[in-house]
Structures are given as structure tokens and as C-alpha cells.
Chain A
Amino acid sequence: MISYRLRRKLLNLLMTLGMLTATLLVLTPLGLIFFHILKMGFSSINLDFFTQIPKPPGEAGGGMANGIVGSGLLIATASLIGLPLGIFGAVYLSEYGSSRFSSLIRFSADVLSGIPSIITGMVVYGLLVVPMKGFSALAGALALALIMLPIVLRTTEEQLKMVPMTLREASLALGVPLWRTTLKVTLKSALKGIITGVLLAVARVAGETAPLLFTALGNMFWSHKLNEPIAALPLQIFNFAISPYDDWHRLAWGGALVLVTLMFTLSLLARWFGRTR
């Protein structure tokens, strides 16, 4: 009996240690990745990085300014397409939807968010690139918008559901039509939560690379036209990382530092908005 008790205690200790070890193992790559990004990134970032376009291989210096601007343009355009769709789709789910149809939409959104993003890129290629006879920033933005859509939809719906019914009733009782109530009362009181969701969605697509491969394509030069191929930070990181040139590797690390800083800032902002609800 006593030996059995000891065995049980020992097993408990062993398993607890195992869980601790697993946790440390899981966090190790995080530490390593951040260490390398900081170490390699800071040494390659300077003013040129933010003002110059990449130099041809073999020439030192150059920057990723066109990629940063291109990413900004892509994200902004994607938001213009994806946010209204997601937010008003969510309004339907939380304010009007019958439970059956809403479940179907919700399920579709969840499934859509699990589709590999490279497939989204292929679909947009067939939808926009082939008819327009060329890669374009617009196609890239559409692909990113399709990735944002389910995220924005689901988070917005969660937020709208948290708005108390009494608030809506108070407005309706004053004779305000339902649609104005939804716009001015329901959406307004859920605004901070919705912003959190939007920021998280933007953070997610800011780092997406695969859907841009056959849509925005990338560009070594400046471009700000929606109907032409455009540079994007993640695409540049990809192309430079797999190139054999040390100078380009350095640029890729710099780009990684910028991208990670951006995502970090966005998720901190999202947290801040989420907290002061």
C-alpha cells in the first residue's frame, strides 16, 4: 500500500515535470527566433532601409521602402473591401439571422478561415489576374480581403452579441427605426471590440505571403498603381531569404524586424482596445 502511494506520487511528480519541460520546449523557438530577428535585424536597419528600394544583388545597401509602402497600400485596399463585408455580415448574423441560416454562415466562415491562403491566391488569379491580363495590386488586395473577411465577421459578431438587449430596446422605444438603432446604438457601443477584431485581422494579413505570389506578384521598383504588380514586405522577405546573396539576406532580416514590430504593435493596440471596454 505504501509503495503504491509512493508510485502515485512519483508519477505525479514525473508528469508535472514533463508538462514543465514541454512548456519550455515550446517557448524555446520563440526565444531563438526573436533573438535572431533582433540581432540580425537591428544591424541591417538604417535610414536607407526605409527610404531606398532594393539594390541589385552584389551591391551593398538599399532598402525595402517600396515593399513597406506597397504593403500599406495592399492592406488599406483590402480593408476597404473586407471590413464592410465582414462587419455588416456580422450585423446580419447577430441582429437578423434565423438560427439555421446563421449557423451555416458561421460554419462557412470558420471553414473559409481554415483554407490554405495559397488557394485563395489561386482563386483570385483565376478571378482577376486572368481577365485583367496581368498581375495587379488590386488582385493582391482582394486575396487579402478574402482572408480578413471571416476573421472580422466572427469577432464582430461576438462583440455585437455582447451589447445588452435593453440598449437596443431603449432606442427602439424612442421610435428610432431598427436600422438606425443598429448603426447608432448597437454598432457604436460595440465599437472598441470591433476595432480589436479589425486590428487582429490586419495583423494577420500584414504577414501573409502565399496569397500575394500570383496576385500582387512583387516588384523591385516603386509602384503605387492598383492595376500593376506591386511590392510587398513579406514577398520581399521571401524572395531575399531564398536568394544566395548575403546582402539580400541582411535586407530580409531587416524586413522581418519591421514586420514583427508592426504585428507586435498591432496586437498590443488590439489588447489595449480590448481591455478598456
Chain B
Amino acid sequence: MSEATTDAKIRLDRLNVHFGANHAVKEVTMAMASNSVTAIIGPSGCGKSTVLRSINRMHDLTPGARVNGSVLLDGEDIYRKECDPVTMRRRVGMVFQKPNPFPAMSIYDNVIAGYRLNGRGRRSEMDALVEQCLQRVSLWDEVKERLHVNAMQLSGGQQQRLCIARTIAVMPEVILMDEPCSALDPISTLKVEELIDELKEKYTIVIVTHNMQQAARVSDTTAFFYLGELIEMGDTKKIFTNPEKRQTEDYITGRFG
């Protein structure tokens, strides 16, 4: 499980991110395999979210952010000139820290929002897609009676699962998750974790989390970041039982962070 892997879905090559004078991510090189869950862990401010957000060019929106190096998606650099970030982002979906459904839309419209961008499908097609996506995030049974009520009436955990449904409705290949459970209660967290496990059959998942138990539970590979650098990356079991680097061990055993 290293850079040598040929079937890597995503490969970061000497990635650097600056925010103004702040060098947030330093010379990061790593690869994520297809149909696997990669967890990124580390203390707050270590650059883990910044790395994640560079995988679908979210930094384009941030004034003053500069990204150097390359991010290869199926071997093609998404930062190359000809790459259209809008098209690319349909292949790389993202779920955010706080649930962010569109408050002016119904549950149904939220799920279908991204899909609609590429033209209106037939009504029956869209209905089927909404059901399928809500089924997959196990929200269907809870909301099938009220698909057309405002999405803000759902609880926080339901909203986050709705956001995941909205992401997979676009049929991406990769799903980036930025601490998706940090705003959720334990039961909702469990549901989302189960969902991640199911989703990896079809998608490549990269998840940032500050919760080490969560990383241990859901991921196949774990990467530990500290002060903007990738300290160690490897099989999750190995990282949590027998890490190679002192810093990793200190963090995992709770000596700092």
C-alpha cells in the first residue's frame, strides 16, 4: 500500500498549499486505492482538511489560496490547464463537516439538485433516482411520506445523510468527507459509519476525522498528518497497533494532540 500501487484512484504528488504567507500543506505525496476508505487523521490545524479540499479544487473559492504540485485522478492532473473543475467535481463529490442542505428546497429537490444541472431527466427517472439514493443512505423509510417538505425539518443526522444522498445522486467516483460526523450524535454517527462501509463497494472514499476510533472502525488505510506534513501512511491496523514513527505513536496513544 504505497506510491508503487498502480491502481491508485487518486495520487497526490508533492502537493503544497499556501494561504497567503501560511504554508499549510508541505510536500505531500500519497496515493488512495480504488474502492477503499482512506482516513486522514492528525491534530487540529495539521492541514488534513486542506489536503482533502485540494482533491476537488475547493481552494479555488478561497481568496489567497495557492496550490502547487499535482493531484492525479485516474492518472490525470486535475490542476492542469485544460481540466475543467466543474466537470471534475462531478467525479469527486464532497460531504462537509456541518450538514448543509439547501434550505429553500424540499428533500426531493435537495437530492436531485446536482443531477438537474445536467438537464432535466424524465420525471419517473428522477423519482427512481431519488428513491435509490435515499435508500442507499437508509433515509428512504424515514422520509418517503414527506419528500416534498422543506429539508430543514430533518434532524441533524438526517440532514447529513441527505447531503450524502445528494452527493451520490451525481454518481461520482470519489467521495471526500470532511469530518462528516463531528456535528452528529452517537446514533447518527453510527449510521453514517455503516453507510461508509457500504459505499466503499462502489466509491473511493477519503475521510478526514479527528476521532481515532472512527478512523480505526471505517478505514482500510490511515494517513497521519502533523504540522502540514504526511508523517506516516499505511494499513489502518498497522498504524493503530504498530506505527513506525514516534510522532504517530504519541498521537495515537494520546500523548499529544
Q: Do chains A and B touch in the complex (CB under 8 A)?
A: yes
Question: For chain A residues 1-52, which have a beta carbon within 8 Å of chain B?
Answer: 1, 4-5, 8-9
CB-based contact B87/A4 at 8 Å: no
Q: For the complex, what is the distance from the CA of A5 to the CA of B86, rounded to whole Å?
A: 10
Residues of chain B from 183 to 214 with CB closer than 8 A to chain A in the complex = none
B64 proximity list for chain A (CB < 8 A): none
What residue in chain B is nearest A12 (Cβ atoms)? B86
Contacts of A5 in B (CB 8 A): 84, 87, 118
Which residue on B lies nearest to A5, using beta carbons? B87
Interface string of B14-32 (1 = CB under 8 A from A): 0000000000000000000
Interface residues on A, range: under 10
Q: Which size class do B's interface residues fall under? A: under 10
The smallest C-beta distance from B206 to any residue of chain A, in angstroms, reads 26
With the chains together, A61 CA to B118 CA distance in Å?
A: 70
Query: Is B4 in contact with chain A by the CB < 8 A criterion?
Result: no
Cα–Cα distance between A31 and B225 once the two chains are bound (Å): 53
B125: min CB distance to chain A, Å: 15
Determine the distance from Cα of A9 to Cα of B118 in the docked complex, in whole angstroms.
11
* In the assembled complex, B63 has its CB within 8 A of some CB on chain A: no
Residues of A within 8 Å of B118, CB to CB, are 1, 4-5, 8
A99 to chain B, nearest CB (A): 25
Give the complex CA separation of A8 and B87 in angstroms. 11
Taken together as a complex, chains A and B put the C-alpha atoms of A1 and B87 apart, in Å, by 11
Query: B116-130, CB under 8 A of A: which get 1 and which 0?
Result: 011100000000000
State the CA gap A5–B117 with chains docked (Å): 9
Q: Mark A248-276, 1 if CB is under 8 A from B, else 0.
A: 00000000000000000000000000000
Min C-beta distance of A15 to chain B, whole Å: 14
State A5–B87 Cα separation when bound (angstroms). Answer: 8
A8 to B85, CA, bound (A): 13
Which B residues, 105 to 120, have Cβ-Cβ distances below 8 Å to chain A? 117-119
Closest beta carbon of chain A to B117's beta carbon, Å: 7
> A172 CA to B87 CA in the complex, in Å?
61
A4 to B86, CA, bound (A): 13
Query: Which residues of B in the span 60-87 have a Cβ within 8 Å of any Cβ on A?
Result: 84, 86-87
Tell me the smallest distance from the CB of A70 to a CB of chain B, in Å: 48
How long is the Cα–Cα vector from A59 to B197 in the complex, in angstroms?
A: 91
Give the CA-CA distance A9 to B84 in the complex, in Å. 10
Q: Contacts of B87 on A, CB cut-off 8 Å?
A: 5
| A1 and chain B: residue at smallest CB distance | B118
CB distance from B20 to the nearest CB of A (A): 21
Given contacts A4-B118, A5-B84, A8-B86, 7 further A-B contacts (CB under 8 A): A1-B118, A4-B119, A5-B87, A8-B117, A8-B118, A9-B84, A9-B86
A-B contact pairs, 10 of them (CB 8 A): A1-B118, A4-B118, A4-B119, A5-B84, A5-B87, A5-B118, A8-B86, A8-B117, A8-B118, A9-B86
CB-CB nearest 10 A-B residue pairs: A4-B119, A4-B118, A5-B87, A8-B117, A1-B118, A8-B86, A9-B86, A9-B84, A5-B118, A8-B118
